[in-house]
Amino acid sequence: QFRREAESAGRLNHPNIIAIYDAGEDDDVSYLAMEYFEGVSLLENTSPDNLLPAKWVLVLAARAAEALDYAHRQNVVHRDVKPANLMYHAATDTLKLTDFGIARLTDNSRTKTGIILGTPSYMSPEQLSAVGVTGQSDLYSLGITIYQLLTGSAPFRADSIPKLMDKILNESHTPIRELRSDLPACIDAIVNKALAKNPAERFSTGLEMAIALRECARQF
């Protein structure tokens, strides 16, 4: 399984994705040799007192959406998109999507259903239901990430995993502009589409989502 994951991630060659150079074993320890990157994760910018400028959130999210678009065209789904897996280096203005460690090839011969992988707060309804996961699931998780980077809070919160799962599966999120009235309407339009319960109602590709994010950013 580890080698399959390394194979899927190692195929990816994109400026906004951390490169994996090698995989192997040493004294029964499996390892990945990865690109070194000095950036810090966007997890540092998810608290209300340390948010990034909203326009910049959209610009960085557009880059992430383009990286996901590339991965999806290589039949690789990330499955764990979240702020902690988005690294940014301010000095070089570089964003990198990292940790494809639980990615799965979406080829039918390799895909396993019935296995839940990911971080609960960022997981799509179909991930929680352990059914077929596509690139639209990553775009959902990116929508959750955008929501948290803009508001300092995840859209779905609960004091237990079962309650959290129920909210993700059945409840609607609070519109962002109810929490931040200073933002343009296009932000809610993008996030609402990304967080649609039905994958078919979300953005069809990461590129489509990136274009919408960049157009919205131009309204600032």
Q: Of residues 69, 80, 99, 138, which has the active-site annotation?
A: 80
Instruction: Determine contact, residues 176/183, Cβ cutoff 8 Å.
Output: yes
Distances (CA, A) of 216 to 2, 190, 219: 39, 9, 5
Q: How far apart are the first and last CA of the chain?
A: 45
The region that residue 152 occupies, defined by phi over 0 for left and psi between -120 and 50 for alpha, beta otherwise, is left
Is residue 80 annotated as part of the catalytic site, yes or no?
Answer: yes
- Please state, as a whole number, how many other Cβ atoms lie within 10 Å of the Cβ of residue 94: 15
Q: What angle do CA 146, 149, 150 make, to 5 degrees?
A: 85
Catalytic annotation, residues = 80
